[in-house]
Amino acid sequence: MTRAYNFSAGPATLPEAVLRQAQAEMLDWNGVGASIVELSHRGAEFMGVAAQAEADLRTLLSVPDDYAVLFQAGGATTQQALLALNFAAPGQTVDYVVTGHWSKTAIKQVKPYVNVHVVADGEPGGFRDIPPRDSWSLSSDAAYVHITANETIHGVEFRDTPDVGAVPLFADFSSSIASEPLDVSKYGLIYAGAQKNLGPVGVSVMLVRRELLERAGQPRADIFTYASHAARDSMLNTPPTWNWYLLGLTVKWMLEQGGVEEFARRNATKAKLVYDAIDASGGFYRNEVAPSVRSRMNIPFFLPDETLTTRFVSESKAAGLLALKGHKAVGGLRASLYNALPVAGAQALVDFMRDFQQRNG
């Protein structure tokens, strides 16, 4: 069996070592005679897996002690809605920076509950850049400021943490968490669906400064209350144990590989390979994002026409390079270069790109 290089934006490629370990442990986890997925979340076995995953994630991301780490069932979109319910009073103003598709989704989720103020909007510029910080119109009374650290579809990434003063900064790190060192203390809250850099879909991670959990927010069920989840170590109800276990294996693998410093090096190498191939193609391949905010994780790029795009997708797939079709919102092609994609995968892609151009350019 050969595994292809998988450029999917999410669910995405996972480390082969993690998949092999999960396979080996599938029928009998640690000699207990059952799979971890068959054991109670309240038993010592899974409680140990859960606690280890949290400890490893804290180490990987250097999470300060005054931050709670939550493991939430479901995806980032659910967390986007719950932000308003937990941290803003009914009708209170919340500030959102719009840098692409996922910023807009984040706004859509909170609109029924709060007064959304768009601080800056990259859409008139086609989401090719992030509006400069000094052009943002922050509200003085906002409950929080929300950014999307990396726009998975538009390929735009904050390369620095913006200073937003005293109002807590909330960030969607779904597609770039653990891709490089991160100063968690600059954020009030960080959330991420796991299915890109952290493991399988079905669980989201949240890092939240504990004092924020004391906010009243607005009327909501206990199950939608982050403070309740934090008080019960994310075991308020039955958590997604399989996903949490796989996330734990993935985080351990990242630590063994050298942690976020090592992934920062690999990710910079991979992104440079692909952007250099695009930029050296004389316009055959195009990426129009401003170089200073080009995403290291997701690279959308375009060919001169639709026929070539379709041919590229099918020929690359036949060559063992999976999922290079662009998102339907923007078309074209997209290469996602998450932590589990090796440098050799990016190299194989640029070799294919050069060959494809020679044959079709």
Ligand X SMILES: Cc1ncc(COP(=O)(O)O)c(C=O)c1O
Catalytic residues: 102, 172, 196
Quick one: how far is CA 76 from the chain centroid? 9
Q: How far is the CB of 179 from ligand X (least distance, A)?
A: 12
Peptide bond into 90 cis (omega under 30): no
Site for ligand X in 318-357 (CB under 6 A): none
Asked if 102 is part of the footprint of ligand X (rule: CB under 6 A), the reply reads: yes
**What are the residues facing 181 on neighbouring strands?**
none
- Sole binder of ligand X in the list 6, 72, 92, 174 (CB under 6 A): 174
How many residues contact ligand X, by CB under 6 A? Answer: 11
- 200 makes contact with ligand X (CB under 6 A): no
User: Which residue, judged by CB position, is nearest to ligand X in the bound state?
Assistant: 75
Q: What is the DSSP string of 66-83?
A: TEEEEEEES-HHHHHHHH
DSSP state of 273: H
Q: Rounded to the nearest whole angstrom, what is the least distance from the CB of residue 150 to ligand X in the complex?
A: 6
| Dist CA 335 CA 8 (whole Å) | 7
Q: Which stretch binds ligand X (CB under 6 A): 49-57, 170-178, 245-253, 343-351?
A: 170-178
Rg, C-alpha atoms of the chain: 21
Binding of ligand X by 10 (CB under 6 A): yes
Give Cβ neighbours of residue 202 (< 8 Å, ≥ 6 apart): 73, 74, 75, 194, 195, 240, 242, 243
| Close Cβ partners of 273 (under 8 Å, ≥ 6 residues apart) | 343, 346, 347, 349, 350
Our CB check for ligand X shows the closer of 220 and 327 to be: 327
179 binds ligand X (CB under 6 A): no
Footprint (CB under 6 A) of ligand X, residues 19-78: 75-77
Site string for ligand X, 299-318 (x = CB under 6 A): --------------------
Strand segments, DSSP code E, in 24-92 are 67-73
- 148 binding ligand X? (CB under 6 A): yes
Closer residue to ligand X (CB): 75 or 300: 75
Chain positions contacting ligand X, by CB under 6 A: 10, 75-77, 102, 148, 152, 172, 174-175, 193
